Structure 1
């Protein structure tokens, strides 16, 4: 498998999707999900990947949280851009993140019958995910 190169330019932010509200305050080392523990990296998405990622893996959920992380906080050698489905190179963080890396957290909700793509077309979502 050929690992795609990172996007150019690199995004300022990457996002972690979580079904549960993050702990408050955010700890120095964020608790890893079962999937992240099993795979050996933290699954992340760019802003333009969120609608696709949400549609593929969270289509049955009516809400989730996005944790906004500043990409420049991570050693770029620890971030691999891996090809997954139709997401065009999702960032995978080999390591962890914590309070110092978190810029913001926001809960997103969708109505029954509404797609995640429709949610992320709204101006409020677009403005937050710059």
Structure 2
């Protein structure tokens, strides 16, 4: 499915909690999270969606890794879908989310770079500010 906006993203992002930190160097295929396994696809975000994804799904974590993935090579495997509001309620203004449907292959061939974010004083704002130049909107 084509992107739901007029602008095709340069990158899409996968957030991973520190407990499931990506190994260095990245393997051909990263381990699949239980959520991704049960959903049947890999949950991804755009740079614009990362703050609320951190807030709603990574609030109990102090460290999160973000994988930056070039969009164009994966475009044919991406479906832009509405987030289910069952977990955190409506996420107005964030638009459709990219979901990767490629039999769970996400690894060294797809990931361009990795960034580690550390939560400060109970929030992600400072870490996101430090990563601002790396996150491409």
Give the TM-score taking structure 1 as reference length.
0.85
Q: Structure 1: 5+ residue runs without aligned partners?
A: none
Alignment correspondent of 1:91: 98
- Offset of 1:8 from its aligned partner? 2.1
Residue 5 and residue 103 in structure 1: after superposition, are their counterparts in 2 closer, same or farther (change >3 A)? closer
Q: Which consecutive aligned stretches of 4+ in structure 1 deviate over 3 angstroms post-superposition?
A: none
Q: Structure 2: 5+ residue runs without aligned partners?
A: 84-89
Aligned length: 124
Match of 2:6 among 8, 15, 28: 8
Contact 2:70-2:111 within 8 A present in 1 as well:
yes
Contact 1:18-1:66 within 8 A present in 2 as well:
yes
Give the TM-score taking structure 2 as reference length.
0.81
Match of 2:115 among 106, 112, 116: 106
Does residue 70 of structure 1 match 2:66? Answer: no
- Offset of 1:101 from its aligned partner? 1.0
